[in-house]
């Protein structure tokens, strides 16, 4: 077996210790890495050999758990998916932007978790059936309608990329709104009207100005920007039906059924 | 161990220098100033037209000035860029599903370009160009 190529990597890592620091500062590490490694491997090597006090989150090391998000040279990235070979010179590693820093590279996701809850990210059945009537069926075409939007790994990279979220923290934000869209599009779901109270507001989709950064950084190719633009269109149709068409009050219910598509 | 999270603010006026994609976004937004200014120009033209032949002739003369031509070229470039960004966005906003598959995005954007060209021909025809 040919030996793996080694490389001396320089990392500039943001440090913050809530017990002793009032401000964050950068700390430089030099660490010998294998050329094939990712940034997370380099951090693990620093923690093992150089500085055991360094804090960061990770779990799967294969871009599925969504816990290792960081700013790498200013770009939101999964550190287990950021290959050293794609970087030259000093690599700057910071905690995810727009989230409070708990310690070093660890951020507090509380705000995102609250927002996820607010969009009711679960199937709210259109009609409750007794178990004896069997399962809620779905065709492959009905599944494909929302499948892409169900791939989110909750890594919050889209929030770190979104300047609107950075400037206006009350914005529900890309991933949570996209999840609302995912359930609205589900043929088994009848909860769109309930979600609209959060979605069709100025902290919902109307805070989005379509910068599109969320979709560019998303490691799971969810394309949150597309979900939000689609929701703006359906919300606008709701508004027109409710305000400009006489007797159009129950529009949201009707649209939700059409959106979801009925099995028949 | 205490919990004392550090908030790193997003700079309210300089954030768009942080990444090239933010500058691209701002350039798209700025084109709307030219689109808006051109609409104002059209309204002024209508007003001049209603004010009688002398006023209208004066307006046409003003359009031929060097400043006006530079403005028109800038407005045209801005409008084209603005239109292209919107046509490219249509594939995200208006996906079309046929059976299990989605129509490729460039077909949806392409259809908008075709509709644009067709409408432009109609407008030119109505204006008596051919
Ligand atoms: S939408 Fe993409 S970037 Fe945002 S949290 Fe989900 S997987 Fe991460
Ligand atoms: S460690 Fe799980 S996504 Fe990176």
Complex confidence, ipTM = 0.86
Task: Return the H-helix or E-strand segment holding A184.
Answer: helix A174-184
Chain A's closest residue to B11, CA to CA, is A167
The CATH label, of 1.20.58.100, 1.20.1300.10, 3.30.2320.80, 1.10.260.40, for the domain at B9-93 is 1.20.1300.10
Mean pLDDT value of segment A207-220: 97
Q: What does the block give as tokens for A218?
A: 């998303």
C-alpha dist (Å) from residue B50 to A65, A130, A185, A251, B37? 66, 71, 51, 43, 20
Task: Return the H-helix or E-strand segment holding B40.
Answer: helix B20-50
SS3 A189: strand
Over 60: is that where the pLDDT of A252 sits? no
SS3 A31: strand
pLDDT category of residue A45 using cuts at 50, 70 and 90: very high
Closest ligand to residue A113's CA: 1
Buried b (16+ CB within 10 A) or exposed e, A140-169: eebeebbebbeebbbbbbbbbbbbbbbeee
Q: How far apart are the CA of A244 and the nearest CA of chain B, in angstroms?
A: 23
Distance CA B52, CA A90 (A): 69
- Report the predicted TM-score, pTM, of the whole model to 2 decimal places: 0.90
Residues A155 and A219 sit within 8 Å (Cβ to Cβ): yes
pLDDT category of residue A258 using cuts at 50, 70 and 90: very low
Mean pLDDT value of segment A197-224: 96
| Backbone torsion region of residue B18, taken as left when φ is above 0, otherwise alpha when ψ lies between -120 and 50, otherwise beta | alpha
Task: Enumerate the residues of chain A whose CB falls inside 8 A of the CB of residue B25.
Answer: 209, 211-213
Chain B's closest residue to A110, CA to CA, is B5
Non-local CB neighbours of A55 within 8 Å, separated by 6+ positions: A103, A104, A105, A106
pLDDT for B60 equals 96
**pLDDT cut 90: percent of chain B above it:** 88
Domain ranges (residues) in chain B: 9-93, 95-129
Over 80: is that where the pLDDT of B1 sits? no
* Nearest-by-Cβ selection for A100 from B6, B22, B92: B6
Closest ligand to residue A57's CA: 2
Task: Return the H-helix or E-strand segment holding A29.
Answer: strand A25-34
Q: What is the pLDDT of residues B27-38, one digit of tens each?
A: 999 999 999 999
pLDDT category of residue A126 using cuts at 50, 70 and 90: confident
Which residues from B are below 8 Å from A when comparing CB atoms?
1-8, 10, 12, 15-16, 18-19, 21-22, 25, 29, 89, 92-95, 97, 99-102
pLDDT category of residue A129 using cuts at 50, 70 and 90: confident
Domains and CATH numbers, chain A: 6-107 (3.10.20.30), 109-244 (1.10.1060.10)
Q: How far apart are the CA of B121 and the nearest CA of chain A, in angstroms?
A: 29
Interface test with B, best of A98, A109, A165, A212 (most B CBs within 10 A): A212
Distance CA A78, CA A58 (A): 9
């Amino acid at each position: 077996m040919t030996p793996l190529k080694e490389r001396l990597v320089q990392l500039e890592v943001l440090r913050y210790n809530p017990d002793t620091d009032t401000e964050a500062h950068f700390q430089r590490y030099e660490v010998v890495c294998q050329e094939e490694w990712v940034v997370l491997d380099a951090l693990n090597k620093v923690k093992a050999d150089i500085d055991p006090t360094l804090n960061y989150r990770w779990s799967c090391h294969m871009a599925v758990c969504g816990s290792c998000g960081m700013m790498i040279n200013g770009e939101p990235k999964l550190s287990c998916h950021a290959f050293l070979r794609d970087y030259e010179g000093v690599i700057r590693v910071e905690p995810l932007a727009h989230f409070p820093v708990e310690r070093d590279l660890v951020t507090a996701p509380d705000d995102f978790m609250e927002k996820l809850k607010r969009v009711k990210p679960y199937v709210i059945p259109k009609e409750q059936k007794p178990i004896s009537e069997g399962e809620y069926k779905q065709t492959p075409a009905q599944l494909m309608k929302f499948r892409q939007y169900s791939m989110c790994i909750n890594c919050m990279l889209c929030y770190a990329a979104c300047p609107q979220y950075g400037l206006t923290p009350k914005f529900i934000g890309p991933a949570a709104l996209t999840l609302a869209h995912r359930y609205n599009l589900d043929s088994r779901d009848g909860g769109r009207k309930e979600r609209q109270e959060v979605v069709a507001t100025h902290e919902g989709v109307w805070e989005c100005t379509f910068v599109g950064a969320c979709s560019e950084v998303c490691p799971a190719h969810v394309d949150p920007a597309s979900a939000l633009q689609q929701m703006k269109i359906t919300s606008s149709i709701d508004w027109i039906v409710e305000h400009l068409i006489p007797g159009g009050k129950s529009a949201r219910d009707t649209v939700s059924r059409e959106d979801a598509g009925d099995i028949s | 161990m205490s919990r004392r999270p550090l908030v790193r603010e997003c700079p309210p006026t300089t954030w768009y220098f942080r990444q090239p994609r933010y500058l691209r976004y701002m350039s798209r937004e700025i084109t709307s100033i030219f689109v808006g200014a051109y609409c104002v120009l059209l309204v002024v033209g209508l007003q001049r037209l209603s004010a009688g032949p002398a006023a209208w002739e004066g307006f046409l003369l003003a359009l031929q000035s060097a400043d006006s031509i530079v403005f028109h070229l800038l407005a045209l470039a801005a409008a084209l860029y603005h239109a292209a960004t919107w046509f490219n966005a249509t594939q995200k906003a208006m996906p079309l599903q046929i059976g299990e598959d989605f129509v490729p995005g460039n077909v949806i954007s392409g259809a908008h370009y075709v509709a644009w060209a067709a409408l432009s021909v109609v407008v030119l025809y109505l204006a008596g160009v051919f």
